[in-house]
Structure 1
Amino acid sequence: MTALAPLARIHSPPRNAMQSGRANTGGWLLEYAPTPQALDPLMGWVGRGDTRNQVRLHFPTLEAAVAFAEARGISYEVAPPPAERPIKPKVYADNFRYGRTENWSH
């Protein structure tokens, strides 16, 4: 029985939903694909004997993540980075601006 090379996904994580800016969104992650769960014969619990599912490796560039995977023989797939939407600057004083055309939000 031959062991297959572990499959990994390299992607750039999107920004957090609680985040309004672009801070901490420039890196790349390498995450291993989940392995099938197995039933423990003694206790009956479901689990995995592989701890790679818990590993998330952070890299500053895509090239560094790919080089890491190739150096260790990890088969990988690269997901395209999320589309960047422009951030519209908001000013609190605009809520009370004269000649405002938008509806009041409160």
Structure 2
Amino acid sequence: MAARIYQRPQSAMQSGKARTDEWILEFEQSEARKPDPLMGWTGSADTQAQVQLSFPDKDAAKAYAEKYGIAARVHSTPHKTLKIQAYADNFR
């Protein structure tokens, strides 16, 4: 059972920083998705892929994974750089 640990990204529709300090432990899919022959919807019998656990920090997520024997990979958050510009720069 493999999982990945990452920090929740800021959504494109959000300008605030709500819930961006949470760390997520998400299980990877253990079997491929396949289309349903009747309806055509994609799905699988893997229920662990639906589970997302949130933690206040990276160390708590890693401790949980170690406690329950989950092989987890930690994805680091890329450094954010702000491009400061004025509205008047659009008209130069």
Band of TM-score, shorter chain: 0.7 to 0.9
**Which residue is equivalent to 2:27?**
32
Paired residues, what number?
A: 88
Q: Which is higher, the Rg of structure 1 or of structure 2?
A: 1
Distance 1:87 1:56, change over 3 A: farther
The more displaced of 46-55 and 26-35 is 46-55
CA offsets, 1:22-64, max 9 Å, x none?
Answer: 222001000011121377xxx8576432210000100000000
Q: TM-score, normalised by structure 1?
A: 0.67
CA shift at 1:103, angstroms?
1.4
Map of 1:53 onto structure 2: 49
Is structure 2 residue 72 aligned with structure 1 residue 72?
no
* Residues in 2 aligned to 1:86 and 1:77: alpha-carbon distance in whole angstroms: 28
Letter aligned with residue 53 of structure 1: A
Map 1:1-106 to 2 at 5 A.
6-37=1-32, 44=37, 47-86=43-82, 102-103=90-91
Identity among equivalent pairs (%): 35
Partner Cα separation in structure 2 for residue 85 and residue 8 of structure 1: 28
Q: How well do the aligned residues superpose, as a CA RMSD in angstroms? A: 2.8
Larger strand share, 1 or 2: 2
